[in-house]
Amino acid sequence: MAYDVYQPCPLCTDRKMKFCCAGIAEEMGKVAKLQESNQPRAALRILEKLAESNPDTIWNQATRASILLNEGDPQQAFEIMERLIRVDSKNLTVVALHAVTNFAAEGYDSARNSIWRAFHRCVESHADLISSLALGISAEFFAMRKFPASRQHLVLAMRFAPPEHRQDIFVRLLEFDGNSDVPYLLRGSHNLIEPVPDLSGEQADQAHKAYVLASFGVFGKSADRYEQLLGESVNAALAYNAALAHAWTGDESKAAELLHRAAGEESDFEVAAEYEALAQLFELSDEERLLPIRSQRFQCEGVSRLLTVLDDVDRVRRLPQPPQEERDDLPDAMFEVLDQPIPATDDAGQVALEDTPRVIAQVAVYDRSDNGAGIVILSGLSGTGFDSAAQLLGDADLPLNADGEAVDSGEGWPADLAALYWTPAFPEEMPVRKQRELEHHRYRKVVFEDWKDSPLHALDGKTPAVAAGDESMRARVVGAIHVLDAFCDRARYELDLDEFRTALGLPALERRAAASESLNSFSTLQLRRVPLAETDEKQLGLILNRALILRHRQMLYKVLGEALERPPADVDMVRIYQTMTDLCRDRGEVERALEMLSAGRDVSRAKKEEGFEEVFRWDMRELSLRMEDPKDPELPGLISRLRSYYGPKLPQFEDYLQQLIAAYKIDVGPSIVGKDEPDASSGGLWTPESAAEPKTGGGKLWVPGS
């Protein structure tokens, strides 16, 4: 590739190549050809020779750094860019590459100043590069569970990206907001307050400059400006803005401190409670507030004997293992240690909650280590449960020798939510519907009895029941309830905020009309304050879309209920009914779930195109729902109807049904062999591309609609 020396230099953008890099143009042409033919090592050899004679020339050195970065050597790439940034700190390509290599080599904390400089100066000239940098930072923060920082850098990446890439990043943002691993309080938007109230003149100008800095991703400097303005004054909005900016840098400790301050200065009780909830969420990971995961390692000389003995211990249950070819680095065997034996009964559906064992530890068994002995690792939440499991192994006469002392990891479970740490071990024969019923009763007991009478770090060691009687602590108590709700929601339990607040003597959630404000900028808790009955069609549609993405269960249930009363224009009613069916099922409202299912099937049946396929999915959903109780009197007839209608159309459907019948021991009666049952649905012949094959090989049987 030949370069015209009278054209602008590729990297020295304010000069023609004749005046800066003409001497290396021929060699750089060779490098370009090697890069095009995917020969990076050969290109590097040329660039290394050029570096000896032209160590400060930006074109060859920046190209060399880029190739090194792509080849997995970020440290050397960064060292090159460190030299170049001193040579020409105004060159925007150098500024951008310096930030990228600095982040790749040392991570966000060490690279923050170079990152902020690149964000501030290089967005227009290097949009693709800066957007990719923001995506990388988002991924790093997500791995660190710094969720607000991760989401905000996704927002930056979308804002900075060239138009052709924005849709892909927008999809990532939607996936983040729908990720149930992230507490729902941290999903969705949290926006700076702009303009900041009660400021004027120079102070208002400085606050706006802080806002602009944050809009470019220069969060640390934005936080500093907000804090300087805050000083010793009383201004909840300034404290909140400074807290958000710190959270977006990953400094959640400082953010929590400022959020507590903002809550204390905020006049709106519900807003103060939201600030408290965010602060308490940030503090959950503080080491002194965690119950650590503890593990004990053992050497084992007789793995076969160990497995035999463990299989005979009534408080130990072996877990199913994937096929050998899918195990990779997984243990050769896994066991759960229980706090009590699984009850022996002919009717698992009659087992009471207090007789349901819970998992207190796990045992991982590796058949061989480097020295030839087997390795056994006992792990669980530190405390009496782990100690009981260790004692059980010690009393079982197992061929184990402790390999050092038990150690605590840096991960754990929040002490303030210890009552929620519960993994049941249901009898295998227990119907799914009964399992869900016991789980619901368990969570209700935990919330209304155990948690409210447990001392919490967030309440200075007071219990919620006691702190609720202290006027000065009420916002903190409601904040703690929001945190509790976030963890209940992840466990598929709906906490009725109004009911629980009333039980503690606290006021019900204060509603706030949306008026003309932008609902898209509302946080999740702000959306929950909107009185749904007072919204217009457009507002309800916006709230519905947000609720379907966030999937906070109680919020979604209420929004769907309103949408069914007055459906917004262009709403997907099939999706509404499907989601409502699942929510009703999880709430234990089986009859309501069947009503929603039937209504949704009617909508699909009325469609001219794709109606048959949708009706098939509805029928499978009904089968799944009814099979949660194998004694459902309607189940045999449903199976017979589905078999007679879909059997001739779907070759694998017959075998699939027979597997279900055998696996769940369903008494279908003689009608199962009948051929003259009425059709389950109407429609033409359908040959689905992904007709479900029954799973084999010992895995858990898949139930359609699950």
Q: Domain check: are 348 and 372 in the same one?
A: yes
> Is residue 220 in some structural domain?
yes
Number of domains in the chain: 4
Q: Domain check: are 412 and 448 in the same one?
A: no
CA–CA dist 443, 460 (Å, integer): 24
Decide if 439 contacts 493 (C-beta within 8 A): yes
Banded pLDDT at 516 (limits 50, 70, 90) = low
Burial per residue of 554-593, b for 16 or more beta-carbon CB atoms within 10 angstroms, e otherwise? bbbbebbebbeeebbeebeebebbbbbbbbbbbbeebeeb
For residue 412, the cross-strand partners are 292
Task: Tell me what pLDDT residue 349 has.
Answer: 78
Task: Tell me what pLDDT residue 3 has.
Answer: 66
The CATH number linked to 253 is: 1.25.40.10
> Is residue 425 in some structural domain?
no
Cis peptide before 195 (omega within 30 of 0): yes
> Is residue 388 in some structural domain?
yes
Q: Domain check: are 309 and 363 in the same one?
A: yes
Mean pLDDT, the chain, whole residue set: 89
As a whole number, mean pLDDT of residues 576-596 equals 97
Those residues with Cβ within 8 angstroms of residue 140's Cβ, 6 or more apart along the chain or in another chain: 107, 108
Q: Domain check: are 279 and 297 in the same one?
A: no
> Is residue 674 in some structural domain?
no
3-state secondary structure of 380: strand
Q: What digits encode the pLDDT tens for the residues 254-271?
A: 999 999 999 999 999 999
Asked if residue 232 has pLDDT above 60, the reply is yes
Task: Tell me what pLDDT residue 676 has.
Answer: 42
Q: Where are the alpha helices (DSSP H) in 37-91?
A: 40-53, 58-70, 74-87
Task: Tell me what pLDDT residue 110 has.
Answer: 97
Those residues with Cβ within 8 angstroms of residue 234's Cβ, 6 or more apart along the chain or in another chain: 265
Q: Domain check: are 14 and 54 in the same one?
A: yes
Those residues with Cβ within 8 angstroms of residue 297's Cβ, 6 or more apart along the chain or in another chain: 375, 376, 377, 402, 403, 404
Single-letter amino acid, residue 538: K
For residue 478, which phi and psi values (nearest 5 degrees)? -65, -35
Q: Domain check: are 302 and 388 in the same one?
A: yes
Q: Domain check: are 274 and 295 in the same one?
A: no
**How far apart, in Å, are the Cα atoms of 45 and each of 32, 40, 59, 70, 411?**
13, 9, 15, 15, 45
> Per the structure block, which two tokens stand in for 522?
């509302």
Banded pLDDT at 382 (limits 50, 70, 90) = very high
> Is residue 654 in some structural domain?
no
The CATH number linked to 352 is: 3.30.310
As a whole number, mean pLDDT of residues 7-11 equals 71
Domain boundary among 416, 442, 468: 416
What is the residue-wise DSSP string for 306-359? HHHHHHH-TTEEEPP---GGG-TTS-SEEEEEESSPPPP-S-GGG--GGG--BE
Task: Tell me what pLDDT residue 594 has.
Answer: 98
Task: Tell me what pLDDT residue 98 has.
Answer: 98
Calculate ∠ Cα 12-13-16, nearest 5°.
Answer: 80
Asked if residue 56 has pLDDT above 90, the reply is no
Q: What digits encode the pLDDT tens for the residues 440-461?
A: 999 999 999 999 999 999 999 9
pTM comes to 0.89
Domain boundary among 503, 523, 558: 503
As a whole number, mean pLDDT of residues 222-226 equals 98
CA–CA dist 52, 174 (Å, integer): 49
Decide if 85 contacts 95 (C-beta within 8 A): yes
> Is residue 488 in some structural domain?
yes
For residue 674, which phi and psi values (nearest 5 degrees)? -70, 150
CA–CA dist 88, 138 (Å, integer): 29
Q: Domain check: are 303 and 409 in the same one?
A: yes
> Is residue 96 in some structural domain?
yes
**How far apart, in Å, are the Cα atoms of 129 and each of 35, 71, 84, 124, 168?**
18, 17, 18, 10, 16
Percent above pLDDT 70 for the chain = 91
> Per the structure block, which two tokens stand in for 539?
């507002």
* Structure-model confidence comparison of residues 701 and 46, the more confident one: 46
CA–CA dist 682, 233 (Å, integer): 70
Asked if residue 2 has pLDDT above 80, the reply is no
Q: What digits encode the pLDDT tens for the residues 333-350?
A: 999 999 999 998 777 778
Q: Which domain holds residue 480?
A: 432-503
CA–CA dist 58, 84 (Å, integer): 7
Q: Domain check: are 50 and 27 in the same one?
A: yes
Decide if 195 contacts 203 (C-beta within 8 A): no
Q: Domain check: are 380 and 307 in the same one?
A: yes
Q: Domain check: are 275 and 297 in the same one?
A: no
CA–CA dist 318, 271 (Å, integer): 48
Decide if 158 contacts 177 (C-beta within 8 A): no
As a whole number, mean pLDDT of residues 275-297 equals 94
Q: Domain check: are 296 and 270 in the same one?
A: no
Task: Tell me what pLDDT residue 698 has.
Answer: 37
- Cβ atoms within 10 Å of 83's Cβ, excluding its own: 16
Of residues 362, 364, 306, 356, the one with CA closest to residue 336: 362
* Structure-model confidence comparison of residues 559 and 369, the more confident one: 559
Q: What digits encode the pLDDT tens for the residues 643-697?
A: 999 988 888 888 888 888 887 778 776 545 444 443 444 433 333 333 333 333 3
**How far apart, in Å, are the Cα atoms of 167 and each of 131, 155, 170, 172, 529?**
13, 12, 5, 9, 30
Q: What digits encode the pLDDT tens for the residues 118-167?
A: 999 999 999 999 999 999 999 999 999 999 999 999 999 999 999 999 99
Task: Tell me what pLDDT residue 17 has.
Answer: 65
> Is residue 546 in some structural domain?
no
Burial per residue of 492-531, b for 16 or more beta-carbon CB atoms within 10 angstroms, e otherwise? ebbbebeebbeebebeeeeebebeeeebeebbbbbbbbbe
Domain boundary among 264, 283, 302: 283
